[in-house]
């Protein structure tokens, strides 16, 4: 969004996943539009830990915005090494642990699908991290509440949710998947109701903060996430549609809160499930 607006208006910037070694990602095509969303199969493309530390994070310092560094890996050891190094960067204020990656030492099962495995990874990263650790939950699980509780017990400082849902598009002319990888992660407005429901369930089961994401486009969307139990939000896919979506939401929120008679947005957290707060009434 550089060149469109002053990035200092943002609360933080979440950078894409960093792994120990550079990754070139999946073959193209790896992005496809869907009704109400987008499929992507980027494949964790990134320049690797050393270049991120030496070039990308120093370059981001000019914007004076806290960085939340997403980290990924194929083994526990890789996660731990990346976490220890990147968390020492001066502008990194938190880590986002991407647990949707396959664990090569456990038959390729994703770290984020087995609560005990996710909890152990969280515990080991927490031991070396110099900043708070947020864990990004995958919606592609049977019981996301059990996953969240296990991660909280392992010492996570917070959760981010939800990651993308696995989806596919098929080209009717060829009969083949549109994405070269076959499947991809579905994001955008289509996943918002799922994200809201999962945050609603998880926020009642844990006491750590949640950064909500999944289809946010407007100030009204933000309030939905807060009502469900999030205490902050992140915007991703909408930036591809409107590069000004973030400053627009920031500008629109105060008027919306005033219209609803809400003094501060923190009053909205969990309002949908907290006792006696199931209805929000606008001022006459």
Is 101 noted as a catalytic residue in this protein? yes
In order of 27, 117, 183, 258, 265, the CA distances from 147 in angstroms are 32, 10, 24, 37, 28
Dist. CA 135–CA 96, nearest whole Å:
5
* Beta carbons of 144 and 198 less than 8 angstroms apart: yes
* Cβ atoms of residues 84 and 29 within 8 Å: no
DSSP string computed for 203-224: HTT--S-EEE-SS--SHHHHHH
Enclosing H/E stretch for 201: helix 192-203
User: Residue 233 phi/psi, 5° resolution?
Assistant: -135, 160
Residue matched to tokens 């199969």: 41
- Pick the catalytic residue from 101, 246, 268, 282: 101
Query: DSSP strand E in the chain: where?
Result: 13-18, 31-34, 37-40, 67-71, 92-98, 133-136, 158-161, 165-167, 184-187, 210-212, 232-233
Q: Which residues contact 278 (CB under 8 A, 6 or more apart)?
A: 272
Q: Are 134 and 127 in contact (CB under 8 A)?
A: no
Contact 164, 12 (CB under 8 A): no
Residues annotated as catalytic (active site), given as ranges: 101
């Amino acid at each position: 969004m550089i060149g469109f607006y002053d990035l200092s208006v943002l609360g933080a910037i979440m950078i894409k996943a960093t792994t120990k070694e550079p990754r070139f990602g999946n073959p193209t095509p790896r992005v496809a539009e869907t009704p109400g969303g987008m499929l992507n199969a980027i494949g964790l493309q990134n320049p690797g830990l050393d270049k991120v530390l030496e070039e990308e994070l120093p370059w981001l310092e000019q914007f004076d915005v806290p960085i939340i560094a997403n980290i990924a890996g194929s083994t526990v050891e890789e996660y731990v090494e990346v976490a220890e190094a990147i968390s020492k960067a001066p502008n990194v204020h938190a880590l986002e642990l991407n647990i949707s990656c396959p664990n090569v030492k456990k038959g390729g099962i994703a770290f984020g699908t087995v609560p005990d495995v996710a909890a152990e990874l969280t515990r080991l990263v927490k031991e070396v991290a110099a900043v708070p650790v947020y864990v990004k939950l995958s919606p592609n699980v049977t019981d996301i509440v059990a996953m969240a509780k296990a991660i909280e017990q392992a010492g996570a400082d917070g959760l981010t949710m939800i990651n993308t849902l696995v989806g596919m598009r098929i080209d009717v002319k060829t009969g083949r998947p549109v994405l070269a990888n076959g499947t991809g992660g579905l994001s955008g407005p289509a996943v918002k109701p799922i994200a809201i429901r999962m945050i609603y369930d998880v926020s009642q089961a844990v006491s750590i903060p949640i950064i909500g994401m999944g289809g946010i486009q407007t100030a009204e969307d933000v309030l939905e996430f807060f009502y469900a139990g999030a205490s902050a939000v992140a915007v991703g896919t909408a930036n591809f549609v409107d590069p000004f979506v973030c400053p627009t939401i920031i500008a629109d929120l105060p008027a919306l809160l005033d219209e609803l008679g809400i003094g501060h947005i923190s009053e909205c957290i969990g309002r949908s499930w907290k006792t006696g707060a199931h209805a929000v009434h606008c001022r006459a």
